[in-house]
Amino acid sequence: MSAAAKLVFPAPDAPAPGIPVEVAPGILWLRLALPFALNHVNIYLIEDGPGWAVLDTGINDARSRAWWEALLAGPLAERKPTRLICTHFHPDHVGLAGWLANRCGLELTMSRTEYLTTQLHRRWAETTEIEAYRAFFTANGLDETAIGSILERDIGYRWLTTDLPSSFLRIASGDVVTIGGRRFEVLTGGGHSPELVMLLCREDGVFLAADQVLAKISPNVSVWPQEPASDPLGDFLHTLAALRAAVPAGVLTLPAHNLPFRNLHARIDELTRHHADRCDAIAQACREPLLPAEIVPKLFPRRLDAHQTGFAFGETLAHVNYMLRAGRMRAEPGDDGRMRVRAA
C-alpha cells in the first residue's frame, strides 16, 4: 500500500470559492481561485478574539479582490480581520497583502526573508538583470521559447502582487504567536521558498503547513538564476526531516493547496522517496554528459508547454545541484564552454 493510500481526508469536499467553512475548532477554510493549472489556493481564518487572523491572501486579480470585498461585506462584516500573516513570497499567498493590509488597517506578519524576497521580486521588472538571467538559462541549454516564458513569468510577479506595507512584524522559527488565546508555534521551512512560515497548535493538534507539505502535489523546488549554485532540494529535505521530528504524527494538516489531511509523516516519507527516485533517474540519464536542460525531457517524458518547462527545468537543476554537492554527479565543460553534468 502506498503512503498516499494511508492519507485520510476528513473534509473531502472543498468549499465553494469565497465561502468560508469551519475545518477545525475556530479555524475557517476559504478557497480562492487561481488563473493557473493549479487553480486554487487555501486561505485560513483563525479565530482571534473579536475577529479573525488571516493566513495568506490569494493572488492580485479582480476576481480575488471581489471575493474579499464580498467577504468583508458578508461573513466578515461583524467579525473583522484582526491581522494578516503571509506564509511566503509566492503571489498566490502574498499577492493581496498590501491591498488587504491597507483596506482593513492590518499589520502584516511575515518572516524577514519572505518579506525581503517579495520586495526583491517586485522590482525585477525594473532592472536590467533580465539579460543576465537570459544568459544563465542559455548556458544551461534552454531554448528561446522556454526562456521567454520563464522571464515573462518572473516579470509578471509584479502584477500578481501589490505593494507591501512599508513595515512588518517579523516572526521566526521558535517564536510562539498567540492567536485568540491559543499558542501557535512558528516553524520555518526551506526549499520551496527561503523561509516559509508554518504554524503548529500543539494543544489542538492543528498544523498549518502552507506549501511545505501538500497531499497530492510535490511542492515545487527550484533553482533560480540569482543563486545558481543553491541547494533548495537539500533545504527542502532537511525541512521535511525536521518536521517529521517536530510535528506530532496525529495532527490535522491544513495545507495551502489540495485538501486537509491526516497522517503527515506518511506524506513526508512519500515526498522524500519521490526525490530520491528522481535523483536515481537523473543518475541513470546522465551516463553521458548533458546540459541540465537536456535532462528535463528524460525526467518529464510527456510534452510540456513553455510554462511547465520553466518549472521542470528549475526542479531538475535543484536535483542536479543536490547531487553535485553529494558527489553523485560531476560537472565538466563541453567544447562550447558550457558546463555539462554526468553521473559520478
Q: Which three cell numbers stand for residue 165?
A: 506595507
Q: Which is nearer to Zn ion, 112 or 325 (CB)?
A: 112
- Find the binder of Zn ion among 65, 90, 122, 340 (CB under 5 A): 90
| 275 binding Zn ion? (CB under 5 A) | no
Nearer to Zn ion, 162 or 222 (CB): 222
Count of beta carbons in the 10 Å neighbourhood of residue 200:
23
Angle made by CA atoms 239, 242, 246, in degrees to the nearest 5: 135
Query: Strand pairing of 182-189 and 196-201?
Result: antiparallel
Cell of 90: 509566492
Distances (CA, A) of 21 to 44, 156, 207, 274: 10, 32, 17, 33
Q: For residue 278, list its beta bridge partners.
A: none
Please choose, out of 24-32, 67-75, 82-90, 330-338, the segment that lies near Zn ion by the rule CB under 5 A.
82-90
Alpha carbon distance 261, 267 (integer Å): 10
Site size with Zn ion, rule: CB under 5 A: 2
The Cα–Cα gap between 237 and 326 comes to 13
Cβ nearer to Zn ion, comparing 29 with 141: 29
> CB of residue 191 vs Zn ion: minimum separation in angstroms?
11
Between 211 and 235, CB nearer to Zn ion: 211
Which stretch, 38-46, 94-102, 178-186, 209-217, contacts Zn ion (CB under 5 A)?
209-217
Pick 90 or 275: Cβ nearer Zn ion: 90
Reading the block at residue 98, the C-alpha cell is: 498590501
| Helix, strand, coil distribution of the chain in percent, nearest 5 | 40, 20, 40
Q: Taking CA 18 as the corner, what is the angle to CA 17 and CA 23, rounded to the nearest 5 degrees?
A: 90
Among 114, 211, 235, 294, binds Zn ion (CB under 5 A): 211
Closest separation between CB of residue 180 and Zn ion, Å? 26
Give the interface segment with Zn ion, choosing from 28-36, 69-77, 207-215, 278-286 (CB under 5 A). Answer: 207-215
- Shortest distance in whole angstroms from residue 87 CB to Zn ion: 8
54-62, 85-93, 167-175, 199-207 -> range binding Zn ion (CB under 5 A):
85-93
Candidate segments 10-18, 22-30, 87-95, 287-295, binder of Zn ion by CB under 5 A:
87-95
* Nearer CB in complex with Zn ion: 54/341: 54
Nearer to Zn ion, 201 or 213 (CB): 213
Using Cβ positions, the residue closest to Zn ion within the complex turns out to be 90
DSSP-assigned states of every residue in 254-296: EESSS--EE-HHHHHHHHHHHHHHHHHHHHHHTTS-B-HHHHH
Binding residues for Zn ion (CB under 5 A) = 90, 211
